[in-house]
Structure 1
C-alpha cells in the first residue's frame, strides 16, 4: 500500500508540474541559445584572477529564499558587483523556503530545470539520485582543476570530502561548512530569557527543566511590563520542534547532534535508537504538553508565521524565545542565553549542536549548464578569503568598512538604521546569506550575523562544557537504500510530526503511546533502522 501511495504521489507530482510552472513567469522555458557565449568550456575560462570568463555569459539559478532575505536577489548589491568583476550575469528564480521542496521537485520532474540550484536544501539522497541520473553533474575533476579555494578546504578538513562523497564515489555539490571552532555558530540559537524580568521576579536564570517551568509560569502570572494588561507571553517560537530539540538533551536524548535529529546512540545498549519512539521522548512530550496546557507557550505556536512572531517580539512581550537573535530580528535587547538545563533524571546535555558540514547540497550544477567550468570558478570564489568577505559583509564602503587594525565591521547605516529598519532588513540590500542554507565557509572573521553578537558568544561559552562529544555528519547510502529510505520516511516522518503535535496539544492521550509505537513498527521502522545502521557502518568504516 505504501508503494502504491508513493507511485500515485509521483504521478500527481509530474502531472501538476506543467500546471504550476505555467503559472510562474520565472519558471517558463527559456531559449538557452540566447545565453550562450561564442566560446564554451575550458576555452571560455580564465584559470586565475578576474574576470572569470573571457566573454559575458548568463547563469540561471534556482534559489531558496528565507523570510529575512531580500525578495529578489537580482537586485541585491553583491550580485551586481560580482557581475562587474566576473563578466557573469546571474538570473535568480526565487522560491520561498516554505514552498521550496515541492517547487524544486516539480522543476526537476518537469525537466526544465536551471543551470544551478543554490540554497535549495538538497539532501544527500537528492544528490545521489539526481547525480546518478546525470541531472547533477559530477564535480570531482572540476574541483581539482577550477576550485582551488574549495580544494584547500577539502585537504584541511577531510570530513568535508567524506560527507560530500556519495556511495558511488562522486561529489555532486558544494556545501555550507562552519568553522569547527566557531562554537556560537554550531550551537544555533540559544534559549533566550529576558534578564530584567528575571530580576523583577527575583529569580536566577533557570538551570533545570523544573525551574524553567516555574519561570514561564511566573511570567504568565505577573504584569512584568507594567502596562496593566496580561499580554506577557512566556515562550515564543515558530512551532514546537525547536523547543523539543533544545530540551531533549535534558532527557539524555540527541547525543550525536542535530545532524541526526531522529536517531542517536543508546548509551545503555550501544545500538542506534529512534528517538521519537523512546520512553524518555514520551516524558519530554509530557513536559511540553504541560507547558502548552497551562498557556505557557505561544497561543498559536503550531500555526504562527515568522513574520507574526517577529512583529510580536518588537513589542517586548516574550519572556523566552527560540530565535537566532531578539536584537537583529526584533530590535530587542536584554535577553541572555540560558545555561544547559538539567532534566528529571540528572541529564545535562547540550544536544542542539550542528555538524560543521551543515548543508551538503547548498549548490549544485546541472547538466543543462553550458558553462560548468566557469560556474565552478564562480562559486569557488566564495570559499576563499576575499570571496567570503564579500559574501558575508557585502560591498566595502557601502555595507562595511575595514578598521585600521584589519577588522571588518558593518557601517553605521546597517547597525543603527535611522528609519527603524532592523539590522537584517537593511543588510538584505547587500547580501543573501540571511536565513541560511547558503554555500560557503563560515568563519568568525567575516560572519557578523546574530551568532557573532557578544550575547551569542557568551551563550555559546556557557553551554560549551555540555556539548555532545561526538557529532555525526550526514550519512551516505546506496541508491537502493536511498529509494527504500525515501519511501519509508514518507510515511514515518509525517506520522511522527503529526502525533508529536497531537500529544502536545492534547488531542491524543498519552495512553495511546504504545499504539503510536506499534504503528511506527507497522510502517517499517525496523527496516528504516536497518538502513540507518548501514549508513552508520559506512561512516564508521570511512573514519578508520
Structure 2
C-alpha cells in the first residue's frame, strides 16, 4: 500500500469512527506527488467537449408508434438526440465528443442497494449507459439495511472505489470528506471533464446556488431538476370515508377532529394512520398548524427557529393526546414499518393517512380499487393559509463524489456527466426506446400503453418497474413530473394532488439546502442527535398519555441546557452563508 493510501486509511478510520475532522488531511491532498490529480492521469490540455453534429432523424422517430428494429437501434445504440424536443426553459446540453471513452476503463461505484433491484450490475438502463459511453462500471452494493455499517467499514478500510453515490454519508458531509482525503475537490475540472453538468447547473440560478459550497467549490454531482418538483407527502383521505361520513374534506384542526370522530362512528376503528416511516409522527402536517414544525424553519424575519420549541407546542401535544385517547389514531403509530402501514391502509380500519399519493395510487387505487383525495395541511383557524416546510430547490434525487483513489478521474467524471446530457436525460428518465418509451410529435418521450413499465413481462407492478426499466433517484436531470409512471399513468391523479398541494400552500418557512463547515458539522450532528432523541421521547410519551402535557416544560428546559441556542446559531450562520452565495 502506497504512502497516500496508508495515510488515508488512518485518517478515515479516525474520522469515520469519531466523526471528527482532521485538518492535517488537507496537507496530504496538497502534495502533487501523492494526490489523485486528474491532470496526472489524463490529458490536461484537452478542451471542453463541443456539441457533436448528427443527421436529423426526428421525422422518422417523432410520433412513430410502431418503430422498426433499425429505428430502435438508431435511438438506443447511438448518441443521436436530434429527435428530442427542447421541453424546458433552459436547453439540456448535448456534449458527446468524449464518447466512446478513449481508454478501456472499469469504474467501481458504491451505492446503497434498492430492494427492488437485486443486481444493479444488470440494470438495463445502466447497461445502455455503459454501451453509449464506452465506460464499464462495477457496482458495489451492500445488503439492504446494512448500508450504514458497510459505508463505515469501507471508509475505515482505506480502500475506496472510484465513485460513491450518497457521499454525504461521510461524517460532516462532502466538505469533510474532501478535507480528510476521501473525496476529490472537482472545482478545477468540472468545465473540462463535465461540460454537460457544468452547462446545466449554470443555466439557472437556483441550480447553481444549490450545487456549490459556501466557499464556491464544486465537490460532487447533484441530482438537479428542470423545475422545482411538487411536494410529495401529505394528508390523503379515502373517498368512501367522505361518503360514509357525509362530510367535506376537512381544513381546520376542529374539522379534522369532527371528521375522524364521525369516521370512527361509521366503522373505521383507527381512522387516522398517524405513523410515518419518513419520520414517525414528525411530518409537519398536523403539528405545522400550530407552528410546531418538525425541525428547523425560517420565521417571518428570515431567522432560523426550532419547531418543537414554539409557543403552541403544548396546545399541539394536548390535541394529539386527546385524539390518541379517543382512539382516532392507529394503535401502532410509533412503531409501524412501511409494510404494516400499507396493510393497515388497505384495511377497513383506516379512513385517512399521511403519505405519498404516488405510493397510495399504487396501493389504494391500482391494487385495491380504493379512490382517494388529497387534503391541504390542516390550519388552526378558518381562513388561515395551509403551510409546509417542504420546498424543492431544484435539487433532487441522489448525489455522487469522485474519490481520491479513482484510477482515471476523467473517466469517472465523464461517466457521471453523461446523465446531464439530453441523451442521458432520455435514457435515465424514460428507459429504452421502443420497449419502454416512444417519442411524441413534439419530441417528448412518453410511456405507451403497452410499455414494459405498465405491462412487465415478469408481471411486476409499476412500483417495481419504475426502478427496473428507468432510474428513479440518481445524480441526473430528473424529470419527475413527466417520467414518474405513478404520476403519468392513465387514470392516475397522484400528480394532480401533488400539484394542488404545492400551489396552494405557503412555503415561506422552508429552509434551503444549507451546508455546514467541517467544524460546524461535527457539533451540529452531536447537538442534533441529542435534541432529536429528546424530542422523540417526550413527544411520544406525552401523546400516548404516559406523561402529562405539562411535561413539555421540562422538555424545553432540557433542550436549552443541551445547547439549543448553539444549535440554532450554527444553522443561522449556515443560512447566512447560503444567502450570500
TM category, shorter: 0.7 to 0.9
Change (3 A) 1:271 1:84: closer
Residue 273 of structure 2 contacts residue 341 of structure 2 at CA under 8 Å; is this kept in 1? no
Equivalent residues in 2 for 1:186-201 (5 A)? Answer: 186-201=230-245
Equivalent residues in 2 for 1:106-185 (5 A)? Answer: 106-119=153-166, 122=169, 125-180=172-227, 182=228, 185=229
The residue that corresponds to 2:321 in the other structure is 289
Give the distance between the partners of 1:501 and 1:127, measured in 2 at CA: 33
The residue that corresponds to 1:56 in the other structure is 104
The residue that corresponds to 2:350 in the other structure is 318
Deviation at 1:65, TM superposition (A): 3.4
Q: 1:249 aligns with which of 256, 274, 288?
A: 288
Q: Secondary structure at the match of 1:295?
A: coil
Give the distance between the partners of 1:505 and 1:201, measured in 2 at CA: 27
Deviation at 1:120, TM superposition (A): 5.4
Give the distance between the partners of 1:241 and 1:119, measured in 2 at CA: 23
Change (3 A) 1:532 1:428: closer
Q: Secondary structure at the match of 2:297?
A: strand
Residue 297 of structure 2 contacts residue 306 of structure 2 at CA under 8 Å; is this kept in 1? yes
Residue 245 of structure 1 contacts residue 352 of structure 1 at CA under 8 Å; is this kept in 2? yes
Equivalent residues in 2 for 1:244-393 (5 A)? Answer: 244-254=283-293, 262-267=295-300, 271-314=303-346, 318-324=350-356, 325=358, 326-330=360-364, 331-332=367-368, 333-344=370-381, 347-358=384-395, 362-393=399-430
Deviation at 1:420, TM superposition (A): 6.0
Change (3 A) 1:134 1:50: same
The residue that corresponds to 1:22 in the other structure is none
Give the distance between the partners of 2:443 and 2:397, measured in 1 at CA: 32
Q: Secondary structure at the match of 1:273?
A: strand
1:448 aligns with 2:484: yes
The residue that corresponds to 2:525 in the other structure is 486
Q: Secondary structure at the match of 1:368?
A: coil
Give the distance between the partners of 2:514 and 2:549, measured in 1 at CA: 33
Deviation at 1:252, TM superposition (A): 3.5
Unaligned runs of 5+ in 2: 1-12, 19-39, 50-95
Change (3 A) 1:201 1:347: same
Mean Cα deviation higher: 378-387 or 286-295: 286-295
Q: Secondary structure at the match of 1:337?
A: strand
Equivalent residues in 2 for 1:69-88 (5 A)? Answer: 69-88=116-135
Residue 64 of structure 1 contacts residue 100 of structure 1 at CA under 8 Å; is this kept in 2? yes
Give the distance between the partners of 1:76 and 1:127, measured in 2 at CA: 27
Q: Secondary structure at the match of 2:188?
A: helix
Residue 124 of structure 1 contacts residue 360 of structure 1 at CA under 8 Å; is this kept in 2? no
Deviation at 1:214, TM superposition (A): 2.5
1:439 aligns with 2:475: yes
The residue that corresponds to 1:496 in the other structure is 535
Larger Rg: 2
Give the distance between the partners of 1:354 and 1:123, measured in 2 at CA: 25
Give the distance between the partners of 1:98 and 1:354, measured in 2 at CA: 28
Residue 235 of structure 2 contacts residue 377 of structure 2 at CA under 8 Å; is this kept in 1? no
RMSD (Å) for aligned C-alpha atoms: 3.3
Deviation at 1:418, TM superposition (A): 8.3
Residue 176 of structure 1 contacts residue 359 of structure 1 at CA under 8 Å; is this kept in 2? yes
TM norm structure 1: 0.80
Deviation at 1:279, TM superposition (A): 2.4
Residue 127 of structure 1 contacts residue 361 of structure 1 at CA under 8 Å; is this kept in 2? no
Deviation at 1:168, TM superposition (A): 4.3
Q: Secondary structure at the match of 1:362?
A: strand
The residue that corresponds to 1:31 in the other structure is none
Q: Secondary structure at the match of 1:441?
A: coil
Change (3 A) 1:492 1:343: same
The residue that corresponds to 1:465 in the other structure is 504
Q: Secondary structure at the match of 1:191?
A: strand
Larger helix proportion of the pair: 1
Deviation at 1:243, TM superposition (A): 5.8
Give the distance between the partners of 1:174 and 1:501, measured in 2 at CA: 38
Residue 242 of structure 1 contacts residue 322 of structure 1 at CA under 8 Å; is this kept in 2? no
Unaligned runs of 5+ in 1: 1-9, 16-38, 225-229, 255-260
Q: Secondary structure at the match of 1:131?
A: helix
Deviation at 1:314, TM superposition (A): 5.0
Change (3 A) 1:97 1:357: farther
Q: 1:212 aligns with which of 256, 259, 262?
A: 256
Residue 104 of structure 1 contacts residue 120 of structure 1 at CA under 8 Å; is this kept in 2? no
